[in-house]
Amino acid sequence: MKTAPNIARVLGLPIATGITMCVVWHVAVTSGGVPQYLLPAPTEVARKLITSLPELLGHAAISGLEAVASFLLATALGFAGAVALVYAPLLREIFYPSIVGFQLIPKVALAPLFIVWLGTDSVSRIAFATFLSFFPVLISTMTGLQNADPNAVRLSRSLTASEWQTFVSVRIPFSLPYFFSATKVAATLAVTGIVVAEFITANAGLGFLILSSTPRMETLTIFAAILMLCFVGLLLYGAVSLLERAGRRWFKGA
């Protein structure tokens, strides 16, 4: 048995590794080994991030809001869909195989289709990102609802609880861990969906900024935008993780 993990080491080591990588990157660039237009120095990226902050924030707000909207839609629809499929056997038999089959094909390929159908404004981007992040929520929540502890369900039945009571007091709590781990996947996919959609059609947003800067070789802008996108992604992911933690704590009754 090892000694209890040292917090300083657990946190410090990965941060130190990250900083070391940045230093190596910096030295590689400033020593002239790598041309600036291919890989700008980290300090340059930081400076660009600060000087163009208002512009970047504007793009980030567009992408971020669209991602949040898609995420919320996907989780709501995914949860509702899971409940519907669990409680309507016929619906489940009709749709479930198609849904599982759908999981196996690369869904990003459908992005242009959404633009063809819904036009080039944010509706089509949100629809695509929702579509992308909807499936994990649906499938996980279904698994969760179906995997409720059978003894807890039997207990509930033995107390002559109604189907609705069993659903609310047994099935939903048992499905929450599944639901929450799926929402984390959905958070990442929502941002991915918005970026891919912005690659294809947009006149604003971080994905647009990244792609439109490529032919002009504005590497600094690309890096700053990617960094900004990481912030947006992590912010959304972090918020969902916090919610998940609260949910899990409640589930465990601690």
- Asked whether position 126 contacts other proteins by CB under 8 A, the answer is no
> Per this entry, what is the length of the chain?
254
In this chain, which of 27, 87, 199, 203 binds other proteins, going by CB under 8 A? 199
- Asked whether position 148 contacts other proteins by CB under 8 A, the answer is no
Q: Which SS3 state, helix, strand or coil, does residue 1 take? A: coil
- Asked whether position 214 contacts other proteins by CB under 8 A, the answer is yes
Query: What is the CA angle 40-44-49, rounded to 5?
Result: 115
Taking Cα atoms as reference points, which of 236, 244, 240, 242 lies closest to residue 177? 244
- Site string (26-65) toward other proteins, x via CB under 8 A: ------------x---------------------------
Classify 26 in phi/psi space as left (phi over 0), alpha (psi -120 to 50) or beta. alpha
In this chain, which of 30, 143, 146, 213 binds other proteins, going by CB under 8 A? 213
Rg (CA), the chain: 23
Which residue's CB is nearer to other proteins, number 18 or number 249?
18
Whose tokens are 């499929």? That residue is 85
- Asked whether position 104 contacts other proteins by CB under 8 A, the answer is yes
In this chain, which of 97, 149, 168, 243 binds other proteins, going by CB under 8 A? 97
Window contacting other proteins (CB under 8 A); options: 11-19, 141-149, 157-165, 243-251: 11-19
> What string of DSSP letters covers 167-218?
IIIIIHHHHHHHHHHHHHHHHHHHHHHHHHHHHHS-SSSHHHHHHHHTTTT-
Give dist(CA 112, CA 244) in Å, integer: 33
Close Cβ partners of 173 (under 8 Å, ≥ 6 residues apart):
251
Close Cβ partners of 238 (under 8 Å, ≥ 6 residues apart):
none
* Total Cβ atoms within 10 A of residue 85: 23
- Asked whether position 229 contacts other proteins by CB under 8 A, the answer is yes
- Min dist CB 214 to other proteins, Å, is 4
- Asked whether position 174 contacts other proteins by CB under 8 A, the answer is no
Which residue's CB is nearer to other proteins, number 80 or number 217?
217
In this chain, which of 85, 126, 145, 195 binds other proteins, going by CB under 8 A? 195
Whose tokens are 């509930």? That residue is 156
Which residue's CB is nearer to other proteins, number 115 or number 170?
115
Tell how far CA 33 is from the center of its chain: 36
Which residues here bind other proteins, judged by CB under 8 A?
1, 3-4, 6, 9-10, 13-14, 16-18, 21, 38, 90, 93-98, 101, 104-106, 108-113, 115-117, 188, 191-192, 195-196, 199-200, 206-207, 210-211, 213-214, 217, 219, 222, 225-226, 229-230, 233-234, 237
